[in-house]
Amino acid sequence: MQKKLAAEFLGTLWLVLGGCGTAILAGSTVGWVGVSIAFGLTVVSMAYAIGHISGCHLNPAVTVGLAAAGRHPKGEVLGYVIAQTLGAIAGAGVIYLIASGAYGGYEADGFASNGFREQSPERYGLKAALVCEVVMTFFFLLVIIGATSKAATPAMAGLAIGLCLTLIHLISIPITNTSVNPARSTGPALIAGGAYLGQLWLFWVAPLVGAVAAGIVHKMLLSGDDEA
């Protein structure tokens, strides 16, 4: 279990460092498309690095959704969620240490945090943010559960999941700056503070709701004898 938690901590640190780090340190150069690709690449790279150790969840919603689908032990959920959240906070801290070394100083200015209304990149409201995060997480979990089933091609699972996360970011960065991951939302929000921290609740509630719904739907309608 210690190896699993260490893997989840380091993997989630890498997710935040690679994805949010690209947005904060290189966003003006690569744009939203580049940031979307960066998030996908973090998942692909870690899937092959730690997938055999912890399953490479990197996301409390993924862990909870897999548990709801009967694909992950419920007794391990809390430990995974804590490790992932601490990893995300550490990743945000590393980004801040790098960014604050910029010539002339650095202002957090949102720090790649998620939000709605004034904190949304394109000023989308609460309803749009809620629907977006629930639906995107729902389909993200369906892809994860399906791609990791016994009937799927194991060597391709990491690629499929990473590409799905890239697509999700391409759709939803303008709306919420894309969460689908409560841990990823927590790290940057703790540094950005203010309204971003006040809106963090939505980026825990919505992804968890979408993930549980996906786990239940898959278990009731899509699962078969080929399940892992």
Q: Is the pLDDT reported for residue 1 higher than 70?
A: yes
- Tell me the DSSP string of 125-186: -HHHHHHHHHHHHHHHHHHHHHHTSTTS-GGGHHHHHHHHHHHHHHHHHHHHS--S-HHHHH
The HSE-up count of residue 58 (CA atoms within 13 Å, CB side) is: 33
Return the percentage of the chain with pLDDT > 70, whole number: 97
What is the sign, positive or negative, of the torsion defined by CA atoms of 3, 60, 72, 165?
Answer: negative
- Tens digits of per-residue pLDDT, 46-98? 999 999 999 999 999 999 999 999 999 999 999 999 999 999 999 999 999 99
Q: Is the pLDDT reported for residue 143 higher than 90?
A: yes
Q: Give the pLDDT band (50/70/90) at residue 224.
A: low
**Separation of alpha carbons 73 and 14, rounded Å:** 24
Q: Provide, for the chain, the percentages of residues in helix, strand and coil under a 3-state DSSP scheme, each rounded to the nearest 5.
A: 75, 0, 25
| Confidence (pLDDT) at 154 | 76
| Confidence (pLDDT) at 105 | 72
The structure tokens listed for 53 are 């150790």
Regarding the domain delimited by 2-222, which CATH topology (the fold level of the hierarchy) does it fall under? Glycerol uptake facilitator protein (1.20.1080)
Q: Is the pLDDT reported for residue 222 higher than 80?
A: no
Q: What is the mean pLDDT of residues 14-24?
A: 97
| Confidence (pLDDT) at 174 | 98
227 versus 61: which is more confidently predicted? 61
Residue ranges in 193-226 assigned as alpha helix (H): 194-198, 202-217
* Mean pLDDT (the chain, rounded): 94
**Separation of alpha carbons 173 and 169, rounded Å:** 5
Q: What is the mean pLDDT of residues 153-158?
A: 84
**Separation of alpha carbons 132 and 138, rounded Å:** 10
| Confidence (pLDDT) at 108 | 64
Encoded amino acid at 117, one letter: R
The structure tokens listed for 151 are 């009937």
pTM of the model: 0.94
The structure tokens listed for 28 are 């003006």
The structure tokens listed for 132 are 């977006």
DSSP-derived letter for residue 221 is I
Q: How far is CA 130 from CA 106, 170, 171, 207, 209, in A?
A: 31, 17, 14, 9, 10
**Separation of alpha carbons 100 and 5, rounded Å:** 29
